[in-house]
Structure 1
Amino acid sequence: MNWDRIEGSWKQFTGKARETWGNITDDEFTKIAGKRDQLIGMIQTRYGVAKEEAEAQVAKFEKALH
């Protein structure tokens, strides 16, 4: 799925995102507002992973939404 569609419909996808990244709070998901870079940064912060790993997780999430 195109990330622009995810960003535009972020509220629809936050449930799935919460399942995937449970350490991120509802308030943080609201602040992320579908911004891919902000999600990657938050994954790095909450899970202590490198940027490349966070990007890989987001890419996997994106593909799972197809």
Structure 2
Amino acid sequence: MNKDKFSGSVDQVKGEAKEQWGHLTDDDSKVVEGKVDKAKGKVKEGVGEVKDTLSK
């Protein structure tokens, strides 16, 4: 697992936590922020997978 894949996974976990906290507290901005973090994490993870593929 390279740095991008790991960072992407961490961003997805943080995003999920923010999203759940937003639902719990009825804070729509946290829900949106969590969804953005999750999307950012998925992109980073995809970039890491492409880098792994290209390095082989």
TM-score by length of 1: 0.31
Q: Which has the higher helix share?
A: 2
Question: Relative contact order, CA 8 A, sep 6+: which one is greater?
Answer: 2
